[in-house]
Amino acid sequence: MPDFLLILYDLAMTGASVEIVTPRHLTLLTGNFVEGRGYRTARAHGSDDWLLLFTLGGHGRFRNTHGAFVSARGDAVLLPPALAHDYGTDDDAQRWVFLWAHFRPRGAFSAHLAWPERLPGVRALSVDDELTTVVEGCLRRAHDLATSGRALREELAMNALEEALLRLDEVNPARLGTGDPRVARAVTFLREHLRERVTLDDVAGAAGLSVSRLSHLFRAAHGLTPMQFLERERLERAKLLLRLTARSVQDVAEDVGFEGAFYFARRFRAHEKCSPSEYRRARQREST
């Protein structure tokens, strides 16, 4: 790690209430803090990168001119660039344990940072204990890699950080919309069991619904029955395999959960108006 980053890291570890200005060429800086009462960081002009803070224990306090809120275990807070912020250990808490990362998103990754706002400009998500453990593991791995001597330490650390952010975005209400979470569970179950023999009872059990209630809610949300949705997902994957691999039609049928090449070909023709082999040949001609 460059000397200026080590100096910044040591400054932050003192727990002093100081105005910290991040270097303009900073790409990734990570840390793991256990702070007691009185810890506070304030940046009147924010920073020129993104800042993620993920609470593991105790309580943190975030505030701006619009108000304040307290974070607890499983709370992830995102502070966008140039956003004035003031955070620290909550006045009523003995300590605050959190992982953090200053970073610049790569490519179009900013699309995964569109979290709900807890305060104007301050984005936050709360996750259950199982996901907290997963995200903690990703962030600790990011920190270990970022502070290692490996030649590609920053690239590897960014991969680990991006995994943490993707895991969080998977449960982002702003991305998922306002749909019924039970239907979302059914969709996840169907996508995870493409190759297996699946019944409506299986899907209803995964969703926590009766078969009749599941069928009603699912059709209202997707315009298809659960089994029609499953077939569509299987056929979409089959089309990719036909285009991008040399696997036989029989193998493709098995890969996506159809019982035999004949039934697969019949259902494929019903949707695509051509056989799997004809589809493959047509796509191969398009790519030449």
Q: Same structural domain for residues 171 and 272?
A: no
Name 122's bridge partners: 119
DSSP state, 196?
S
Taking residue 57's Cβ as centre, other Cβ atoms within 10 Å add up to: 12
Contact assessment for residue 30 and residue 143, using Cβ atoms and an 8 Å cutoff: yes
Parallel, antiparallel, or unpaired for β 95-103 and 85-89? unpaired
Identify the pLDDT of residue 176.
63
Domain that holds residue 43: 3-176
Q: Same structural domain for residues 38 and 147?
A: yes
- Residue predicted with more confidence, 153 or 179: 153
Identify the pLDDT of residue 2.
39
Rounded Cα distance, 271 and 84, in Å: 54
Q: Same structural domain for residues 97 and 238?
A: no
Q: Same structural domain for residues 9 and 103?
A: yes
DSSP state, 235?
H
Q: Can you tell me the mean pLDDT for 147-167?
A: 96
Per-position DSSP letters for 251-280, written without gaps between them: HHHHHTT-SSHHHHHHHHHHHHSS-HHHHH
Q: Same structural domain for residues 151 and 62?
A: yes
Six-digit token string for 23? 């270097």
Identify the pLDDT of residue 15.
45
Rounded Cα distance, 243 and 249, in Å: 11
Total domains in the fold of the chain? 2
Rounded Cα distance, 147 and 140, in Å: 11
Among residues 145, 176, 207, the one where a domain terminates is 176
Q: Same structural domain for residues 138 and 242?
A: no
Which helix (H) or strand (E) is 243 found in, with range?
A: helix 226-244
Q: Can you tell me the mean pLDDT for 59-65?
A: 95
Amino acid at position 107, single letter: G
Residue 222: band (very low, low, confident or very high) from pLDDT cuts 50, 70, 90: confident
CATH number of 94's domain = 2.60.120.280
Identify the pLDDT of residue 17.
42
Q: Same structural domain for residues 223 and 251?
A: yes
Q: Same structural domain for residues 89 and 33?
A: yes
Per-position DSSP letters for 62-109, written without gaps between them: EEETTEEEEE-TTEEEEE-TT--EEEEE-TT-SEEEEEEEEE---TTG
> Is the pTM above the cut of 0.85?
no
Q: Same structural domain for residues 23 and 57?
A: yes
Q: Can you tell me the mean pLDDT for 76-84?
A: 96
Amino acid at position 51, single letter: L
Q: Same structural domain for residues 24 and 130?
A: yes
Rounded Cα distance, 95 and 98, in Å: 10
Reduce the DSSP state of residue 71 to 3 states and report it: strand
Among residues 176, 206, 236, the one where a domain terminates is 176
